[in-house]
Amino acid sequence: MEETVTAKKEIILSAGSIMSPSVLQHSGIGDADALSALGIDVVHNLPSVGQNLTEHPLLPSAWQVKATDTWDDLFRNETLLEETLLEWSQTKSGVFTHPPLSFLGWLRLPDNSSIFETVEDPAAGPDTAHTELIWINGFVGPEPAEGNFLTLASAVVSPTSRGSVTVNSSNPLDPPVINFNILSTDFDRFALREAFRSSARFLEASSWPDFIVAPPTNATTDEEIDAFIRENAATIFHPVSTVAMSPKDASWGVVDPDLRVKGVKGLRVVDASVMPMIPAAHTQVPTYLISERAADLIKEAWFE
């Protein structure tokens, strides 16, 4: 059964950085040639839809440690895990009152880093971080059968790699093709490599005598560390910029500064996909800010 719903004022699309561009493309808004090839009727040619996908690449590196108060034993014991979850849900007490991330560090590459001989600094400003260090009291990933671990996860927060979200059929229920394309640039690979080295130096300091049992890898050369990164890197669930905002008269981008889709009437996008570039920060708060601003824009347009 088909049902048509018509908006009285405008449609506000908030499906996120993956599904908002997918909905737009299936609705005929996107690259005209690509949509036509799939049999999708073109409503408006807007090639930037789904392009510019940006993420923070993440490298979780787990050091085995001499400790008994990590989260590892808890996650190996399903009975204890259920009891601990029940304790938290009923009394808001116990282990789960503690945050999983004990410390965060925001770091910059040295100004004299060799990468800047060939690549311009992509950070937003001279005090903006290139990488983030996340301290986690346990193993991140499928839990090993034994041992206690400290994970130092490194993320590139000023990345230069760009990916895409595209549709590959005319069926709107089919999942889109997501190409994060992380670590595809020299800068991103260099930054994550140096972030891993920073983690290793931190835990090899004299302040940690006999605490480290085993490192996550014995890699030391660029080639060895790059191989370790290729095997273990992931994303941090911060996708943005697939419906990027740009000036009203710009030939690139998807939405204007009022979050309206360019060349289309009555359609606005409000979610993390409209960020023109990824912030050197976790994306939750910036998304809140976009939503607050969107609320003001919508009220101004229709109710004031």
Question: Among 26, 56, 130, 238, which one carries the catalytic annotation?
Answer: 238
Residues linked to residue 64 through DSSP beta bridges, in sequence order: 149, 214
Q: Is 149 exposed, middle or buried (0-12, 13-18, 19+ CB in 10 A)?
A: buried
Instruction: Give yes or no for a contact between 256 and 247, defined as CB atoms under 8 angstroms apart.
Output: yes
Q: What are phi and psi of 192, to 5 degrees?
A: -70, -35
SS3 labels along 160-195: CCCEEEECCCCCCCCCCEEECCCCCCHHHHHHHHHH
| Host H or E run for residue 26 | helix 16-26
Closest C-alpha to 22, from 298, 271, 251, 301: 271
Active site residue 98: no
Active site residue 238: yes
Active site residues: 238, 282
